[in-house]
Structure 1
Amino acid sequence: MDSSPVASTAAGVAAEDITASAALERCLGAYARDNAELNAITVLLADAARVEASQRDLVVAARKPLGPLHGVPIAIKEEIAVAGTVTTFGGLGNVTPAAADAEVVRRLRAAGAVIVGKTNMPEFGSVPFGDSDAHGSTRNPWDPARSPGGSSAGSAVAVATGMAAAAMGGDGGGSIRVPASYVGLFGLKPQRGRVTTAPDPHLWWALGTAGPLTRSVLDSALVYDVVRGAADTDLFRAGEVGSFVEAARREPGRLRIGWSTKPVTRGVTCDPAHVRAVEETARLLVDLGHDVREVDPRYPDPSAAFVPQLFASIRAETDALEHPERLSVRNRSANTWGFWVTPRVRDWGIRQGEKVARKANRVFEQVDVLMTPVTANRPPAVGAFIGKGVIRASLGSMPTVAYAALWNVAGNPAASVPAGFADDGLPTAVQLVGPTDGEEVLLSLSAQIEAARPWPFPR
């Protein structure tokens, strides 16, 4: 299986070694083989994608300039608008197709990508798993009885099985990094405000950002260089950085890397497989010439910032539904329990996040990169969160977001990097966290780890 299908497809189409149509048919073949079992793609756009791929082939034949993603099949998470499809957010409350693409989808098409379909997610991404009350559970390709994580569950599985070369996800509390870690992909949550949320002004207020899940670091960089950049309507904006592709292709230099397996969330115990992954990667980084040491990050408690924004986000999205009576049990209870989150409380939560960010970033006074586990737990059983109310679901989710959610509150970039396998036969990963606007160092370091310890893919 191709380890960098975005890069190889774009290069192959440009060199006329493969057509965009042929690349698409490979993805549609993977869909036919695996989707009935794994439930990754909820809306297959086969006919429209074939027309789009044919158009890409005509551009090649006419010797016209090609975009950086020309002919690359890409899937889109259900929360991102694709013209002509219903933006379901993983539920049943909307029925009217979107009139236009979201800005990131428009940019992907402008770069030559072919949109394959929409991917499954739990309603509003309110749990970090692949359990959708409306559309059924997405399953982990390494073990279909286990969850692939979420909420970008379908995006992760689509890429891992070859249904798409890359897939857009979103991360409001670990929703790119968690599924990447559970299925063995690379997943970078970028700096807050790095990727536009247009036409919406934000994604889960200060918590969320969109981004791709990919098989390689270079593939992720290629997609990010297309979709990143703010729009006029965006509430948040990141600082200036250079080319992500160039960052992925250069050596990181000797870095100060601090590691810790201490969870942010109190009372959570980290699975020994994840502790081993961090310790083994620390030894690898020493061999690669870095200054590596165990540190105590002295994490601040992000709850006062995270919880108000979480409830405010779910309420805002449910209030905009065409049929709110069709909400899942979990999100009906979220609306009930979140009655206290007024706009004033929400704004207070955002301000608390700024305080959390200042405290969390103190660790970067002594290190260039912080390495931790991605999650505290191994992938749970499929369907464990279907039908649960928000309180039970939130408590059950705590081990999964115990390392990830803090960096949504703080806004820092953070990546899930494959680290091998546990005794259960499923992948492990480590989380690399960078300073504010530090995506470039994360990409360079992740690519160095990938070269030293290549990761395999399912099926």
Structure 2
Amino acid sequence: MDELTDAVGIARAVRAGRLTAGAAVAAALDRIDALAPELNAFTLVRHEAARREAAALDRLLNAVGPEAAGPLAGVPVAVKEEYDVAGEVTTLGGRGNSSAARADCAVVRRLRRAGAILVGRTNMPEFGQFPVGESAFHGDCLNPWDNERSPGGSSAGSAVAVATGAVPIALGADGGGSLRIPASACGVLGLKPTRGRVSSAPLSEHWFGLAGFGAITRTARDMAAVMDVISGNEAVDRWRLDSPERRFSDAVTARPRRLRILLATNPVMPGARTTPPVARAMRDFTAALRRAGHDVRQARVAWPVPTMPFLTLYFAGMRAEAQQVEHPDRLEPRTGTSVRLGSLIPQPVVRAALRHAERVRDGVEAAFGRADLLLLPTLLDLPGGAHDLHGRSWLSAMLASTPAVSNTAIFNVSGHPALSVPAGVSHGLPVGAQLVARTGREDLLLAVAAQLHTH
């Protein structure tokens, strides 16, 4: 892979003095400017700020030497519109905020300390409430494989930015599949880390633990590199996780042991069906896993039912998010409906939903049996239309969104790490396979993804 598009390659070249951060960032800005404008992946491109920050890094390296370079030195990175960046408005995809953030959020601070350069902010629907790229405020984001199709969501712009090669790493968030769904729709990697792996600071939590920060990349080694940087907790975090036993970057370079992988023959949602194009891609992906030496066995899984805790925490979380914006009166009508529903949920019901979520976690753990990983499609069908939610009522939009999250939302409830990886292409559109690991074992997910990339 070209040094100017691969994050690990860029950082190595910058540390070795073969490439300047300024040149890496300039190349990324050129790629962003060359993007088809109708794709609408970026809401803000930091032309001047990114060049200025890259120049400052180059001056530091010239003065101090390569020991001053962090693991993401000079790497251009984009962040979703829900990340606080000092001096910029965190729009959350809508009009609820109008003042610039006073400080970087914890993840952005970690990225900067690692030498990454933020080149832009990416598109999302307001509050990330739907699994699409449609935004009434920023305009719709489109799928680069077919601009009549949705890129998935809600981390739509981040997936498009990575899929088009504009940046090697884009940060997003996942509250029901919002990293994995667009990764599947755009043919890239999307990792929802274990709950508590990545800090939500300055917030103590997001959607009562349903949602968490994560990344989208094209390669497993880039995903490992960014996860090594952004993992960790802050004092404010409600959800916490011990540090991994090994660096994620070590996991993707080591030869993975033979893993037992359980391929679920049934979707999570009762009555749901995997469409033939997705089923064919999954068969090919399963064959690739077997060729790589893994023991893949099929079985029907007794999935726990996540619907009630998910809906309770989702709507209560939407209300909590509305209380954090400056102008709740400016929220979109459909957002307002969700917020009003959330306001009807008393705290004892939220606490009961959290206890129910623990039972879902236990049920998912039981589903593994003797397996190391679970495998199922990320999406049951190919990406839908780019504007499918336009003009729909709140109820119609919610119902239309349900199939997209039917295989993903359960792992937001249970907190397990889940990775969408490219499984193939059907009818000119990518299909994603979802690998799920036990709590805290993102290293296994990344090791398998890296192994498949080399085959």
Match of 1:188 in 2: 191
Match of 1:426 in 2: 429
**In the superposition, relative to structure 1, how do residues 2 and 265 fare at CA in structure 2: closer, same or farther (>3 Å)?**
farther
- Percent of residue pairs identical: 44
Per-residue deviation at 1:64?
Answer: 4.7
Match of 1:27 in 2: 28
DSSP 3-state at the match of 1:200: coil
Paired residues of 1:189 and 1:413 also in contact (CA < 8 A): yes
Matches within 5 A, 1:90-239: 90-239=93-242
Paired residues of 2:133 and 2:141 also in contact (CA < 8 A): yes
CA RMSD of aligned residues (A): 1.4
Matches within 5 A, 1:254-403: 254-403=258-407
Matches within 5 A, 1:22-101: 22-34=23-35, 36-62=37-63, 63-65=65-67, 66-101=69-104
For residues 118-151 of structure 1, the C-alpha deviation after alignment (integer angstroms, 9 at most, x for no partner) is 1110000001111111111101111111111011
Per-residue deviation at 1:192?
Answer: 0.4
Query: Aligned match of 1:251 in 252, 255, 258?
Result: 255
For residues 70-125 of structure 1, the C-alpha deviation after alignment (integer angstroms, 9 at most, x for no partner) is 10010111111001111111001110000000010001001101011111100000
Per-residue deviation at 1:35?
Answer: 5.2
> What amino acid is the match of 1:374?
T
Which runs of 5 or more structure 1 residues have no equivalent in the other structure?
453-459
| Mean CA deviation greater in 35-44 or 68-77 | 35-44
For residues 177 and 205 of structure 1, the distance between their equivalents in structure 2, rounded to whole angstroms, comes to 20
For residues 198-233 of structure 1, the C-alpha deviation after alignment (integer angstroms, 9 at most, x for no partner) is 110012212111011101000010001001011111
> What amino acid is the match of 2:46?
L
For residues 279 and 328 of structure 2, the distance between their equivalents in structure 1, rounded to whole angstroms, comes to 42
Match of 2:438 in 1: 435
Which runs of 5 or more structure 2 residues have no equivalent in the other structure?
none
For residues 375-412 of structure 1, the C-alpha deviation after alignment (integer angstroms, 9 at most, x for no partner) is 11211111212343432222111111111110111111
Match of 1:455 in 2: none
DSSP 3-state at the match of 2:207: coil
> What amino acid is the match of 1:417?
V
Query: Aligned match of 1:448 in 442, 451, 455?
Result: 451
DSSP 3-state at the match of 1:90: coil
DSSP 3-state at the match of 1:205: helix
Paired residues of 2:169 and 2:215 also in contact (CA < 8 A): yes
> What amino acid is the match of 1:364?
F
Match of 2:10 in 1: 9
For residues 22 and 186 of structure 1, the distance between their equivalents in structure 2, rounded to whole angstroms, comes to 26
For residues 75 and 291 of structure 2, the distance between their equivalents in structure 1, rounded to whole angstroms, comes to 36
For residues 346-398 of structure 1, the C-alpha deviation after alignment (integer angstroms, 9 at most, x for no partner) is 12111110011101111222211111000112111112123434322221111
| Mean CA deviation greater in 167-176 or 265-274 | 265-274
| Mean CA deviation greater in 404-413 or 159-168 | 159-168
For residues 435 and 441 of structure 1, the distance between their equivalents in structure 2, rounded to whole angstroms, comes to 9
For residues 106 and 400 of structure 2, the distance between their equivalents in structure 1, rounded to whole angstroms, comes to 34
> What amino acid is the match of 1:41?
F
| Mean CA deviation greater in 362-371 or 226-235 | 362-371
Paired residues of 2:41 and 2:156 also in contact (CA < 8 A): yes
For residues 248 and 355 of structure 1, the distance between their equivalents in structure 2, rounded to whole angstroms, comes to 32
TM-score, reference length from structure 1: 0.96
> What amino acid is the match of 2:35?
D
TM-score, reference length from structure 2: 0.96
For residues 187 and 2 of structure 1, the distance between their equivalents in structure 2, rounded to whole angstroms, comes to 21
How many correspondences in the alignment? 451
DSSP 3-state at the match of 1:132: coil
Paired residues of 1:133 and 1:386 also in contact (CA < 8 A): no
| Mean CA deviation greater in 339-348 or 75-84 | 339-348
| Mean CA deviation greater in 325-334 or 78-87 | 325-334
| Mean CA deviation greater in 51-60 or 387-396 | 387-396
| Mean CA deviation greater in 272-281 or 434-443 | 272-281
For residues 106 and 96 of structure 1, the distance between their equivalents in structure 2, rounded to whole angstroms, comes to 20
> What amino acid is the match of 2:318?
I
**In the superposition, relative to structure 1, how do residues 264 and 38 fare at CA in structure 2: closer, same or farther (>3 Å)?**
same
Match of 1:457 in 2: none
For residues 344 and 319 of structure 1, the distance between their equivalents in structure 2, rounded to whole angstroms, comes to 19
> What amino acid is the match of 1:183?
C
